[in-house]
Amino acid sequence: MRLVVERLLRDRSVSRAEIARSTGLSKQTISEVMRELERDGWVREDGQIQGNVGRSAVTYALRPDAAFVLGIDLGGTKLHVALADLHGEIVAESIEPTSNDGGRAVVAQIGRMKDALLVRANVPAQRLRGGVMGSPGMVDPGSGSIVIAPNIPGLDSLDVKAALREQLGIEVLIENDVNLAAIGEHWRGSSRAIRSFAFIALGTGIGMGIFSDGSLVRGARGSAGEIAYLPLGGDPYDARGLKYGTLETAVGSAGIVERYVGLGGAPASTVRDVFDRLQGEEAARITIDEIGRILSTAILAVHSVLDPEIIILGGSIGARPELKHRIDDYLERCMLQPVRIELSTLGNRATLIGAIGSAIDLMHRSLFGIGRGSGPLALPFAAAEVAA
């Protein structure tokens, strides 16, 4: 069955004879497998192709509505939940402010949103087969527990995986949100054909997802890519950096506003205000210029260790072209061959797309034993290029 489903995922529509030729399985075996897949609702007749001597052959395709997955992007201020079919197409989604009543309230909120999405899309609950949630903070690669989540009180003291299973009635794996954003970019974004890259997300905080030779890198404790703690932009021995990290303290949204106000900018400003005032205000220009310099130093450090082909910038701040221009200028001054910098093509949906793709991949592996298998989460097989 695994070989048959692999071919259906790769070509979307294929005849039994074509499957037999590419897999080496007998036509009888193919027919038996196809009957089983049709009986269980996974496959449907999709059309016909013209064969030799005027003969035509029936083609088959996987039914995208045979099962559905849940993608969850949990942020400190925003909760985004989407229901998607087997092709990764979103059939319903919802965004709400994240509950500020602690971890259990957030889990209950996800449950309510899931129920509403099933009703809206007219999807029976039994067709929901699993999900993946992106979470801020460090996620243990073995247990899936959230080790550090400074932006959501009480989340790191709760068995979130068990709570989600009880609330939703499905298994939900948990992954760092920036890692999922990197998976999303590799699936449907800027780096589909690139095997080694880094995705840096900068907004309220800063984080990085790493792909090396086509596989996501997590590290021994799930903290690979936690560049918030790089000793850049401040004193690494300053106790204020212990919670959020030295680099994040300097270049996160709060650090940018603090720097701007210290240079004479208007109090109670936001990062958006700083960017809006770039053309006519010296304090705004100097602030973004200094942030660009610090980030360029961080990128130089990342490149020296990882040697990625490209670095993708995302997040509400990282995706600003004004910041990219300054980073490009500084990299020209500190690298003989500056690494290529690109802005995320998925924007603020990168984590959600990565969660959906990862959930589909997990379902493929659990049901059919197929997938890229690069760890607990992998690039969705349905979107991967597979050799014939």
Least confident of 100-114, 115-129, 136-150, 246-260: 136-150
| Distance (Å, whole) CA 27 – CA 21 | 9
Report the percentage of the chain scoring pLDDT > 90.
59
CA 64 vs CA 87, 115, 122, 221: distances in Å: 6, 20, 14, 36
How large a percentage of the chain has pLDDT more than 70? 90
pLDDT at 260: 97
Identify which of 74-78, 174-178, 270-274 has the greatest average pLDDT.
270-274
* 380 pLDDT more than 70: no
The closest of 239, 215, 243, 245 to 227, measured between CA atoms, is 245
CB of 238 closer than 8 Å to CB of 352: no
Task: Report the predicted TM-score, pTM, of the whole model to 2 decimal places.
Answer: 0.87
Q: Which residue has the tokens 């074509």?
A: 18
The per-residue pLDDT of the chain, averaged, comes to 87
Q: What are the phi and psi torsion angles at 81 (to 5°)?
A: -125, 135
Higher per-residue confidence, 129 vs 367:
129
Handedness of CA 19, 22, 27, 33 (dihedral sign): negative
Instruction: Give the C-alpha separation, 137 to 83, whole Å.
Output: 24
Taken in order of first residue, the domains within the chain and their CATH numbers are: 2-62 (1.10.10.10), 68-182+349-383 (3.30.420.40), 190-344 (3.30.420.40)
Question: In 3-state terms, what secondary structure has residue 77?
Answer: coil
Contact present, 99 and 156 (Cβ < 8 Å): no
- pLDDT value for 364: 84
pLDDT in tens, 21-80: 888 888 888 888 888 888 888 888 877 665 555 566 788 888 889 999 999 999 888 999
| 312 pLDDT higher than 60 | yes
What are the two backbone dihedrals, phi and then psi, of residue 305, each rounded to the nearest 5 degrees? -90, -40
Tens digit of each residue's pLDDT (9 = 90 or more) over 123-166: 999 999 999 999 887 777 666 667 666 567 777 778 888 899 99
- For 184-217, the pLDDT digits (tens) are 999 998 788 899 999 999 998 999 999 999 899 9
